[in-house]
Amino acid sequence: MSNITGLVDRYVSAWNETDPARRAEAVREIWAEAALYANSSQEFLGHSGIETAIREAQEEFMEKGFSFVLNSYAQNHDAVRITWDMVPSSGGAPITRGTEYLILDTDGKVRTDHQFPEELPASA
């Protein structure tokens, strides 16, 4: 499970990485070259597509004072479920939660990544 713990930690860190060069390196280490990342409105293919998705998320959320933190994760063979929270960077309760369903290739890199975001009730 420790390999998965490392992957999950690197995955969440990649979404918070603001340095473009370090972010590109993280994408290459985590996702397979021909990986698919799909959120509720778009699909992104390959390393450059995933870098674009992360940059767009940062522009939409991190530049407005939010960051992503790990809530929980689980593994089932070559599948990994990651649940994350988007929180104010200055601290406070999560305002959004999302779940990623990852399928890994034989090298342990992410082959497919499907995101399912959800809004939390105000009292969460």
**Inter-residue contact 86 to 98 (CB < 8 Å):** yes
Cα angle for residues 117, 120, 124 (degrees, 5° grid):
140
Contacts 24+ apart (CB under 8 A), 38-44: 38/112, 38/113, 38/114, 38/115, 39/115, 39/117, 40/115, 40/116, 40/117
Third-level CATH fold of 2-119: Nuclear Transport Factor 2; Chain: A, (3.10.450)
How do residues 94-106 score in pLDDT, each as one tens digit?
999 999 999 999 9
The predicted structure's pLDDT at residue 35: 98
Report pLDDT for 1: 44
| Nearest Cα residue to 29 out of 51, 45, 44 | 51
Hey, what amino acid is at 98? Answer: G
In this prediction, the residues of the chain whose per-residue pLDDT falls under 50 are: 1
